[in-house]
Structure 1
Amino acid sequence: MPFKKLHADIKEVLQNLEITTPTDFQKTSIPVIKSGTSVYCTAPKDEGKTTTLILTTMHKLKCEEVGNIPRALVLVENNDKALDLYQSFLKYTKQTSLRVYVANEKEHIDLLKSEIFEGVDILIATPQLIAKLLMTYGVNLSELKIFNIDDAEFLSQTNAYNAVLSITQSISKCQYVLYSEKRNPNLKRLESYFMEYANVISV
Structure 2
Amino acid sequence: MGLNPALLQALASENYTTPTPIQAQSIPDVMTGRDLLGIAQTGTGKTAAFALPILHRLAANRVAPLPRTTRCLVLSPTRELASQIAESFKTYGKHLGFRVAVIFGGVKYGGQERALSQGLDILVAAPGRLLDHIQQKNLDLSATEIFVLDEADQMLDLGFIKPIRQIVSRIPAKRQNLFFSATMPSEIGKLAAELLKDPKRVQVTPQATTVQRIKQSVVWIEQGRKRALLTEMFSDPGYTRCLVFTKTKHGADKVAAYLEAGGVEAGAIHGNKSQPQRERTLEAFKKGKLRVLVATDIAARGIDVDGVSHVVNFELPYVPEAYVHRIGRTARAGADGTAISFVAGDEMKLLKDIEKVTRQKIPAIDRRNDKALGALDAAISAAGVAKKPTLPEREGRPARDGEGEGRRNRGGPRGNSRRSGGPKGEGQRAPRPERSSYNPMATEQGGAGSPPPVAKLKRRRRPGRKPVTAAN
Shift of 1:84: 2.3
User: Does residue 1:174 correspond to 2:172, yes or no?
Assistant: no
Q: Which residue of 1 aligns with 2:97?
A: 97
| Distance (whole Å) between structure 2 residues aligned to residue 44 and residue 192 of structure 1 | 20
**RMSD of aligned C-alpha atoms?**
2.0
Q: How far does the alpha carbon of each residue in 1:77-126 deviate from its partner, in whole angstroms, 9 at most, with x for none?
A: 11222122222222222222111101142333354223201121110111
Q: Which amino acid aligns with 2:199?
A: A
Give 2:38's aligned residue.
41
Bigger mean CA deviation after superposition, 143-152 or 189-198: 189-198
Paired residue type of 1:50: T
Query: Is the Cα contact below 8 Å between 1:65 and 1:99 reproduced in 2?
Result: no
Which structure has the larger Rg?
Answer: 2
Distance (Å, rounded) in 1 between the aligned partners of 2:82 and 2:14: 22
What residue ranges of structure 1 are gaps of 5+ in the alignment?
none
Distance 1:51 1:191 in 2: 21
CA contact (8 A) 1:155 1:187 kept: no
For residue 56 of structure 2, what is the amino acid of its counterpart?
H
Q: Which amino acid aligns with 2:27?
A: I
Instruction: Say if 2:104 and 2:130, in contact at 8 Å, map to a contact too.
Output: no
Confirm or deny that 1:50 pairs with 2:51: no
TM-score (norm 1): 0.88
**Total equivalences in the alignment:** 200
CA contact (8 A) 2:72 2:121 kept: yes
Q: What are the Cα deviations for residues 44-98 of structure 1, in whole angstroms up to 9, with x where unaligned?
A: 3322101112212211211756223210111111122212222222222222211
Structure (1 or 2) with the greater helix fraction = 1
The one-letter amino acid paired with 1:122 is I
Q: Give the AA of the match of 2:44.
A: E
Structure 2 SS opposite 1:116: helix
Aligned to 2:156: 156
Residues of 2 paired with 1:26 and 1:89: CA distance?
15
> For 1:73 and 1:89, how far apart are their aligned partners in 2?
12
Deviations 1:17-38 (A, max 9, x none): 2211111211111112122122
Flag the structure with more relative contact order, 1 or 2, with Cα contacts below 8 A and sequence separation at least 6: 1
Between the aligned partners of 2:32 and 2:63, the Cα distance in structure 1 is 21
Corresponding position: 1:195 with 2:193: no
**Structure 1 residue runs of 4 or more that deviate by more than 6 Å after TM superposition:** none
In the aligned structure 2, how far is the partner of 1:113 from the partner of 1:8?
33
Q: The residue matched to 2:37 in structure 1 has which SS?
A: strand
Q: Does 1:116 align with 2:116?
A: yes
Measure the CA separation in 2 of the matches of 1:18 and 1:44: 23
Percent of residue pairs bearing the same amino acid type: 25
Question: Deviation digits for residues 167-191 of structure 1, max 9, x if unmatched?
Answer: 1111122111012222222221114
